[in-house]
Structure 1
Amino acid sequence: MFKLGINEQVARSLSGAADNNNAELLRRRVGHRTRGHGHGPITRLMSPSDLGQLLKPFVFLDIFDMGEGFLRAAASGGGMPIHPHSGVATVTVLFEGRLQYDDPRMGSGTLGYGGVEWMRAGGGVWHGQEMSAPPEVSRVQGFQLWLALPPDVENGAPESRYIEAADMVRVGPAHVIVGAYGGVSSPVPSPEGVNYLLVTLRAGERWIYSPPVGHKVAWLALAAGMLDAGESITSGEMVLFEEGEHAIVLQAGPDEDVVFVLGSAVPHPHPLHLGNYSVHTSDAALLEGERRIAELGLQMKAAGNRRTSAGTVPVFR
């Protein structure tokens, strides 16, 4: 986890639009943009110690691009190391390729575009190799998001779900990954007051996102193509919108389709207390989470090799 300070100029830029009668201000404007920090197949766009402080409950976002070499190494035990979490929920969505899961508790299947892995770490889990690419897949791209959990569940029982694309819901060009929008609700059992969408727009297509009441936090990250949000957004960028509840007006560039994720939420009212892999609302909750993941680590080591025939290692909780 990167331990970066908050840029005060960025914070000021997100304080909201000036109050005047210009109708154009009804369109939510971009307040800040970033391309994050890359390391191997992963680019970290946000962490809990930088932009996550401004966008909480959204506290962490990675965009990943795993090629054939990385995927084959992962299938034989390399790739992403197994690591712990507490106090957060993780949400993984793909926009290119497929990953398979194989878990004795939840069965087996495949996630592609529009499917989701939801993992509420709660009091503690170890994970990192619970999905693998089928042999015929040579590239996988997607996003992993962390959500800070409210106090009543941050140290509660963990939960994992794999929901395939056919069981997710859509509104126009958007898959509703988390939350409720346009009269439909995601099957993901997330806290209230959070929306997270995976959207594809055709070249030249215009789309307006009208956030629910109270969703003053909003951002998007663009995986492919070019978007006009009042100013140009290019592939690989994450942008933070001004605080407020105005609509977000987007139009795809004229030459290619665009794919992006968009989040909006009621602001998380609690401070973030950070561990190496944990985010909690108090020091006491953090200590309890770290105690539990240390205990689980010993149990996991004692359990020995749990790798399945598909090359996955189920979440340990």
Structure 2
Amino acid sequence: MAASVTRNVVKKVLSIEQSEGAGAIVRRSIGSMNLKNLTPFLMLDHFHVSKGAGFPDHPHRGQATVTYMLEGASRHEDSAGHKGTIETGGVQWMCAGKGIIHAEMPVHEAGKPEPRGLQLWVDLPKEYKMVEPSYQELGAEQIPSAYPLGPDGGVQIKVISGKSHGVESPVRPLGGCWYFHVIFNKKDTSIFQDIPSGWTSFIYILKGSVKVGQEQSLPHEAFNTLVLSSSGNETGVSLTATEDNTEFILVAGEPLDQTVFQYGPFVMTNREEIIKTLQDYQTGKNGFEKAHVWKSEIGGL
């Protein structure tokens, strides 16, 4: 067994609330001016959707969007005939591929929490940008959990994709991407999570506070995104909760050796491909055949 060598924090970005979509509030870290390029990750939004708000019909091409519900529920519907509801603790991993139009709208019911969750955009390797769109969806009960300190050890890792402490998710993303929801019940508890060598990785803190690696500094608190180092000899990351009920996501992905050329919800590798995408969208071709005829049932505010 090789020795465990921890990664450390190389950049820290606090996410500030801003408006997005039709009246939704998001905290954006990746994709903001402070954290623009973090291949293969394009955007991370921590969203809160109040009544009357949402994300009506809009297109995508060239990326995967990963929606993970922390509270409440969200409905979705798309131009390929797919529809459903993501409940608390569930995930939808949508590969937009060559083109899709979809709507994401909150579910508001008396006595239920307002929808809150995370949406991560992951760049697709250029050879997969024009594949047929696809979905992988898991309800909360279908997401396996690892207990690195045993069932009563006070640490739970929900394995949304990838593998942790012998537990593997059934989600199979195009391009490498691991996604964990880490929950520490008690402070002063530590674990080591393996991460493939050389992969880009980050932490986004939902609540509580955490120390990372061999830091002697103050712990990191909620709504901060922590970009981790990625030296070839680093085998993973050491994590210690400094408050009870600390929660964060830990995400890692294989970096892509390609240019990101983005125009709103379209992500390609050069200007010509974006021009072609806009032409396809305007003329209803190559994945956008229903762009001007399809209308979701849920998107009308």
Does the pair score TM above 0.5?
Answer: yes
1:44 aligns with 2:28: yes
Structure 1 residues 140 and 107: CA distance shift in structure 2, 3 A: closer
Structure 2: gaps (5+ residues): 20-24, 148-155
Q: 1:214 to 1:247 in 2, by over 3 A?
A: same
- How many matched pairs? 274
Q: Quick check: 1:198 aligned with 2:181?
A: yes
- The question of 1:161 aligning with 2:151 is answered no
**Kindly tell me: are residues 271 and 277 of structure 1, through their superposed partners in 2, closer, same or farther at Cα, counting changes over 3 Å?**
same
Describe the SS at the equivalent of 1:250: strand
Unaligned runs of 5+ in 1: 1-22
CA distance in 1, matches of 2:280, 2:109: 33
Whether 2:125 is the aligned partner of 1:125: answer: no
Measure how far apart 1:190 and its partner are.
Answer: 0.5
The residue that corresponds to 1:250 in the other structure is 239
Which piece of structure 1 moves more, 96-105 or 171-180?
Answer: 96-105
Instruction: Give the distance between the partners of 2:28 and 2:86, measured in 1 at CA.
Output: 25
Instruction: Write the deviation string for residues 264-285 of structure 1: whole angstroms up to 9, x where unpaired.
Output: 1221111111112222223343
Supply the distance in 2 between the matched residues of 1:265 and 1:300 (Cα, whole angstroms): 31
Checking the alignment, whether the CA contact within 8 Å between 1:222 and 1:260 is kept in structure 2 is yes
Render the CA deviation track for 1:226-285: whole Å, top value 9, x for unaligned. Answer: 11112411011101112223431111123x311111111221111111112222223343
Deviation at 1:188, TM superposition (A): 2.3
Return closer, same or farther for 1:50/1:87 CA change in 2, 3 Å cut-off.
farther
Secondary structure of 1:290's aligned partner: helix
Q: Please list the CA deviations of residues 156-176 of structure 1 after superposition, one character each: whole Å capped at 9, or x if unmatched.
A: 211133321111222222122
Judging by fraction of residues, say which structure has more strand. Answer: 2
Q: Distance in 2 between matches of 1:200 and 1:137?
A: 23
Q: CA separation of 1:26/1:88 partners in 2, compared to 1, >3 Å: closer, same or farther?
A: same
Q: Which amino acid aligns with 2:237?
A: I
Letter in 1 for 2:29: L
- Decide whether the 8 Å contact of 1:86 with 1:125 is kept in 2: yes
* 1:238 aligned to which of 206, 218, 225: 225
> Which of 113, 118, 123 is 1:138 aligned to?
113
Aligned partner letter, 2:169:
S
Counterpart Cα distance in 2 of 1:47 and 1:277: 12
Cα distance in 2 for residues equivalent to 1:62 and 1:92? 10
Whether the aligned pair in 1 keeps the contact of 2:260 and 2:268 (CA below 8 Å) is yes
CA distance in 2, matches of 1:219, 1:163: 23
3-state SS, counterpart of residue 291 of structure 1:
helix
Structure 2 residue aligned with 1:273, among 254, 261, 264?
A: 261
Aligned-residue identity in percent:
23
User: How far apart in 2 are the matches of 1:179 and 1:281?
Assistant: 26
Match of 1:302 in 2: 293
How does the TM-score come out when normalised to structure 1?
0.76
TM normalised by structure 2 equals: 0.80
**Cα 1:37–1:81, aligned 2, differ >3 Å: closer, same or farther?**
farther
Considering only aligned residues, what root-mean-square deviation do their CA atoms show, in Å?
A: 2.8
Choose the corresponding residue for 1:112, options 84, 88, 102. Answer: 88
**Structure 1 residues 70-92: Cα deviation after superposition (integer angstroms, max 9, x where no partner):** 2x314xxxx32322211100001
129-138 or 190-199: which moved more? 129-138
SS at match of 1:208: strand
**Aligned residue number for residue 15 of structure 1:** none
Cα pair distance change 1:234/1:187, threshold 3 Å: same
| Contact kept? 2:71, 2:88, Cα under 8 Å | yes
Q: Distance in 2 between matches of 1:108 and 1:279?
A: 25
| Post-superposition CA distance 1:19-42 (Å, at most 9, x none) | xxxx9x943211111113421411
Specify the alignment match of 2:153 in structure 1. none
Q: Which amino acid aligns with 2:294?
A: A
Partners of 1:299 and 1:49 in 2: CA distance: 33
| CA distance, structure 2, for counterparts of residue 133 and residue 102 of structure 1 | 17
Bigger shift: residues 244-253 or 233-242: 244-253
Describe the shift of the 1:198–1:138 C-alpha distance in structure 2 as closer, same or farther (beyond 3 A): same
Task: Give the Cα separation in 1 of the matches to 2:256 and 2:128.
Answer: 14
* More displaced 10-residue stretch of structure 1: 166-175 or 94-103: 94-103
2:48 aligned with 1:65? yes
Using the alignment, how far apart are the partners of 2:236 and 2:120 within structure 1? Answer: 23
Kindly state the Cα deviation for residue 300 of structure 1 after the two structures are TM-superposed.
4.2
Question: Which residue number corresponds to residue 34 of structure 1?
Answer: 13
Work out the CA distance in 1 between the residues paired with 2:242 and 2:164.
25
Deviations 1:96-138 (A, max 9, x none): 233355789556454212x101111111122232553444323
